[in-house]
Structure 1
Amino acid sequence: FNIISLILIFLAVAQDTFKCPDDFGFYPHTVSCDKYWKCDNNVSELKTCGNGLAFDSSDPKYLTENCDYLHNVECGEREQLEPPISTPHCSRLYGIFPDENKCDVFWNCWNGEPSRYQCSPGLAYDREARVCMWADQVPECKNEEVANGFSCPAAGELANAGSFSRHAHPEDCRKYYICLEGVAREYGCPIGTVFKIGDGEGTGNCEDPEDVPGCEDYYGDLDLKSIRKSELLAGLNTEGRTKSAPKAKAASS
């Protein structure tokens, strides 16, 4: 062995040994962000977070065992990670990932099992901020046709509409467009309602389907009470406001 080989062997051994500073605690690995040391009765055990999670070392007392999504953890100089393990829609077993084809869809992966989430109408999933934002503000989605060919009226044509105007979707009773500074953005009425054109040009509100001619049977035989309850429990945003991605819980081995 030459001197370089001996140094590499020494470093490898040093990384896999740890002297507990206290009887009990959880301590970050020196070079790996998804590994950490568990100390119990002054005996250390090397632990590894789930694939796609990292050890959160923010507890100054080292009493918290928490593996969180990679984007939520400040790794600093702990740059090493276990190789990715992927499943359909999941780049790693744990994490939040954009859909391969649709800008308004993202996947929350837990142990390789993906759960599908969809942004509200007019929004797209931003890969860096990890929230749903206006589609024309998301770089990957700028080339998509956000408003399906709808064009806002020229400035001055809607004097009674105020600073913005609302316009019915030509095909979907629940959807409508908002024009702000000449930019059209698609919205969706809350479940159980549809868009009703107002008395003034460029105005309207979400109302009961029975009060909107032509949209009375929009929901058919759906049990709207059950749907409203499930959306409320899921925390879904049906009115087009920004929706954050779900948070992770600890998982390690």
Structure 2
Amino acid sequence: MKPYLPELTIRDYNIYLQYLRGVRRQLYTEFGWYSCHLLRYNGVVFAILSDSLAGRTATCQRQRVPGTLCWRRMMCQTQGIRQAAQVEVLLGWHNLQDRRPDELRPAKRLRRALDRVLLRRAYERAVQQNPALERLFGQERDQAVVQMNLNAKNYNLAAEPMSNVYGALYSTLATDDPNQRKSMRYIGSSIGRIFYLMDKAERFEADKCSGRYNVFVVNDLMGQASAVENARRQALAAANDLMRVYSMLDVKLNRSLLDNIMLLGLHHAVEPLEVGAEQENWEIP
């Protein structure tokens, strides 16, 4: 979930970077320095969508970037940025629980154990601030365990837990308009399905070797290349449905930036539009 740089204007690029720094600053001030390394691009899109749908204009100020001596312009605390920081912490924490210790190499196992120790206080603080969000992740985890135990071969059924949690997450960004809430839930569900399929396809060989449940392994696909191609076709179909629903949203701010991310950026993540375009370096400071 990143902008597609070749089609991004300088103005939108600066807005994106200012939100990126703002979410990083919020993580630092609210949850501590160590939580900053959890920052992913999905939380930044979450913040931009939240403020843009509600029409909240963020204040841009010059502040010090956490962990550096650099001062840069960044978006200050908004409801969207605060929500994004909570999402980043909870997503990061649950990602640490995603693999059993015996499935990891010793060095990776040690790193995850250290991350859990250092991030526990940030996680507990995020749960206190947003217990409803933590319940969502708990439900998703329980549903995922059920699918693993059932060895489900149906792709829709396997992707349902991730699809549901992202659908619920994105529905919280909508205003009081029930139609907008329904559209945002559909968009979030599509994004969750895309993420799940692409992630499982990339993990095909590792999961097959470890005996871990993977819907592509259960369907007896011939190797990781076949799994990736299958996931790409399904993800493109989900992305096309997402574009149709997104185009009907009433986005009050940053429309051109969000169009770039939701239409071009997401499509490029599934099927690269340009060779080598994924090697762009994003400048956080």
Normalized against structure 2, the TM-score is what?
0.26
Q: Name whichever structure is richer in helix by fraction.
A: 2
Point out the structure with the larger strand share: 1
Structure showing greater Rg: 1
TM-score, normalised by the number of residues in structure 1: 0.29
Q: Using CA pairs below 8 Å that are at least 6 residues apart, which structure has the higher relative contact order?
A: 2
